[in-house]
Structure 1
């Protein structure tokens, strides 16, 4: 019995520790209840309808109900049914989310939620429904601004997405699969993400569960402030896989203010085509590490050309902001308005210099470059036969010099994917004027070292690298 008494303090300590662990874990985890209670009234459900072509009742009987079929099969059957001469009209419907940003009824959502809609219905937290007016959309940022009639409507507090850091807790409220005011939580996985074909938005990446219907809904920080608009998910299954993307609220509000005041969005433009700087390109341009945006193409009439930017320049920073990945540059340029000033730090021929230029307005359509042709001359060291460009071809391609590939033989050119019709304008950081100069430069190329080549293919310029073996 005395021995049992000696263990009693230990048992008591273990018991107290067991009670303390859940309490400690609970104290460390955030409580979202107050945030959700305060924010939910300003989060709305958005449904749209789009009128589809009329379909008639065929000789085989009434038109089948296609709504339950997968989209591919539904589209196939719809195309197979001829247009009517007065048959019934069908409607396509979509669901999304949004949130109120002003007491008089302005609402932010995604462009893809309301794109091509004939009618937009907003359902408020009290279940009342109102028709919304589309004030404007911006497909480049996937932001849309709506307006409903109302006074003293609940609104959300807006935060600053520029203050976000990876690892912070965030909360999403939306209508996945039509379930209103669904709350999900997670953390910020990364900031400043670039996605394919989305050049002007530095996305916030999170692991917050987002599904169809969440699009356009708000992303909150722990202070209950909106820091983003949930926009996209990365998925192979069609559902959430742990990778979600939100539009920073700073970007969204800039777009919203422009849509509200002028109905369209103005973005800065340099008039260049850029590409990533990989390890081999960094070596060929004399850079210490892969970083920056390599200028592969400069439009003659663009702001970059007027400001002295040249093909082969590597842009390391803009207005003091470092360019780590090439995708960082469009974000910074797009945030400027036409007429804004840009100070670029570039590396040219191994030396750093600063260029000051005036940003232009992004055009609706880019310039197209023609396909060149010419007379044969060969360069056997690279395994490629090239030809001089005529003046017409130079003008069509908006270039001052270069050669066109007429034939690709076995050798380095074939290994790096060069094709007949490609135009080579630079080799080993030197501008090419004609086939003779190209052959001279090719003859003197170093061995076992990365060499860069600028190639125009179907109007698109890019730098590629290769090495010549001993």
Structure 2
């Protein structure tokens, strides 16, 4: 459910259809006099232009262009979020790359950019383009697949960056005007206006759904872009759409983003609190059947053995109505609140047991990796030469030298694979080439070349001397490292 999108494939396209109608021999109808307009029409004409607001914030909205690796072991559309965002995989079992574009926005003059996880997930390289024409390579600092939030950082000399701030998403009301800016279908800095249609939407995209819903136009390519209030504050990150041109979009609320960003920036991932219970919503009928004076809360259906809840003495049919004084209106609300607390936090649960209200203290544990996502270090994707420049390497021993077509084993790093569209391909490197020097220093193994690539600063160029299979000549290649 990515664009996140319902049923509509979010492939970024470069085609725009324009329709025009020419009125033949039809004189233009005169505009009605202002005095003849209905009161509501005059009020609409009196609305101030949003141009000053747009001008004040759009420079901080960026285009995020990504080359990403996608494992395509199946034909057709795969299960990878990037398959759904960038297009389906091709047949075969090899690793492919996809190019796609999303949006983001700068929140710190040091170059911190917020976007969606599904925009940058599995990225081989990331390029961020600003509204003023500047472009920067970027790296992933942290990402959270369960809320679809990611923090990336611009690399290189960053100065004079425009920024926008995160507002209070709890303060915005249904019916308030909202503004979306992004890169839909590659149309940079596109602006759309709408209202907040609903809050706290659960669209079953993940365990922590709490989306803002808007009718401001959001399309593929808007992913990761900001949703503004009329003060110019970001109240959401645009992340999902309902397919079919229905005009329904969803945004991650800014207050949730505020809680995640510090962890993503420093740790690269989100560590969540954990109770170890299965719960369901309390309804009016269930409240009556349980002889309770409340109709909202979370009913405990199961307590995991050995979990923090079991150690605290929680029982079946306990109904949690508050945590640390914060009202719990549903099972999802309890799940979200606990997830934002640090493991080891001692929290107070207010609950009803057998009709009696009581408080119970519980020490939160660490949420296990139920979805099998796995915690990845912030710069894991840059630790390998393939992820950074798109080249796979192997040592050259006597056997591989013969297989690769080299008459003698000089040592070196044998190129076994080059990712299409990667820096390695742009440097005219190809599978079967043997790298024997890097920056005029001998290369005797794949490990030595990988270390040389890793040691090259972003934006630097690595001068490689290579041999082609069966050739007696040596060639130079300039590998630009992103």
TM-score (normalizing by structure 2): 0.63
Matches of 1:313 and 1:31 in 2, distance apart? 54
Shift of 1:144: 0.7
- Does the aligned pair in 2 maintain the 1:39–1:224 contact within 8 Å? yes
- Counterpart mapping for 1:362-441 below 5 A: 362-365=367-370
Which residue matches 1:301?
Answer: 306
Shift of 1:288: 4.7
- 2:54 pairs with 1:36: yes
- 2:96 pairs with 1:96: no
- Does the aligned pair in 2 maintain the 1:136–1:260 contact within 8 Å? yes
Which residue matches 1:9?
Answer: none
Matches of 2:308 and 2:359 in 1, distance apart? 15
Which residue matches 1:186?
Answer: 194
Which residue matches 2:163?
Answer: 155
- 2:231 pairs with 1:213: no
Shift of 1:294: 0.9
- 2:323 pairs with 1:318: yes
In structure 2, do the counterparts of structure 1 residues 30 and 353 end up closer, same or farther at CA, with 3 Å as the change threshold? farther
In structure 2, do the counterparts of structure 1 residues 26 and 298 end up closer, same or farther at CA, with 3 Å as the change threshold? same
- Does the aligned pair in 1 maintain the 2:211–2:250 contact within 8 Å? yes
The secondary structure found in structure 2 opposite 1:333 is helix
In structure 2, do the counterparts of structure 1 residues 287 and 95 end up closer, same or farther at CA, with 3 Å as the change threshold? same
- Does the aligned pair in 1 maintain the 2:63–2:102 contact within 8 Å? yes
Which residue matches 1:130?
Answer: 136
- Does the aligned pair in 2 maintain the 1:166–1:187 contact within 8 Å? yes
Matches of 2:99 and 2:267 in 1, distance apart? 29
- Does the aligned pair in 2 maintain the 1:201–1:251 contact within 8 Å? no
The secondary structure found in structure 1 opposite 2:299 is strand
In structure 2, do the counterparts of structure 1 residues 230 and 282 end up closer, same or farther at CA, with 3 Å as the change threshold? same
The secondary structure found in structure 1 opposite 2:108 is coil
- Counterpart mapping for 1:42-61 below 5 A: 42-51=60-69
Provide Cα deviations, 1:407-462, integer angstroms capped at 9, x if missing partner.
xxxxxxxxxxxxxxxxxxxxxxxxxxxxxxxxxxxxxxxxxxxxxxxxxxxxxxxx
**Aligned counterpart for 1:343 among listed residues 348, 371, 378:** 348
Matches of 1:191 and 1:216 in 2, distance apart? 19
Matches of 1:53 and 1:327 in 2, distance apart? 33
- 2:148 pairs with 1:142: yes
Shift of 1:52: 5.6
Structure 2 stretches lacking a partner, 5+ long: 1-31, 74-82, 373-482
Structure 1 stretches lacking a partner, 5+ long: 1-13, 56-69, 84-88, 368-470
Provide Cα deviations, 1:316-369, integer angstroms capped at 9, x if missing partner.
2222222222211112111211222322221211222221222222122499xx
Shift of 1:275: 1.2
- Counterpart mapping for 1:8-87 below 5 A: 17-18=35-36, 21=39, 22-27=41-46, 29=47, 31-51=49-69, 78-79=90-91
- Does the aligned pair in 1 maintain the 2:63–2:104 contact within 8 Å? yes
Provide Cα deviations, 1:264-318, integer angstroms capped at 9, x if missing partner.
2122211111112345433331235642111011112222122221111111222
The secondary structure found in structure 1 opposite 2:252 is strand
Which residue matches 2:435?
Answer: none
Matches of 1:103 and 1:168 in 2, distance apart? 29
Which residue matches 2:440?
Answer: none
Coordinate RMSD, CA, aligned? 2.8
- Does the aligned pair in 2 maintain the 1:338–1:360 contact within 8 Å? yes
Matches of 2:34 and 2:197 in 1, distance apart? 36
- Does the aligned pair in 1 maintain the 2:308–2:362 contact within 8 Å? yes
Matches of 1:348 and 1:326 in 2, distance apart? 17
Task: Return 354-363 or 146-155, whichever deviates more.
Answer: 354-363
Matches of 1:119 and 1:195 in 2, distance apart? 31
Shift of 1:191: 1.9
Provide Cα deviations, 1:72-131, integer angstroms capped at 9, x if missing partner.
xx858x32x586xxxxx9631121100011112110000001111111111111233221
Matches of 2:93 and 2:147 in 1, distance apart? 37
**Aligned counterpart for 2:117 among listed residues 74, 99, 111:** 111
Shift of 1:218: 0.5
Matches of 1:262 and 1:335 in 2, distance apart? 15
Matches of 2:250 and 2:371 in 1, distance apart? 28
Larger Rg: 1
- 2:287 pairs with 1:282: yes
- 2:258 pairs with 1:253: yes
In structure 2, do the counterparts of structure 1 residues 220 and 54 end up closer, same or farther at CA, with 3 Å as the change threshold? closer
The number of equivalent residue pairs is 328
The secondary structure found in structure 2 opposite 1:113 is helix
In structure 2, do the counterparts of structure 1 residues 289 and 254 end up closer, same or farther at CA, with 3 Å as the change threshold? closer
Matches of 1:363 and 1:17 in 2, distance apart? 67
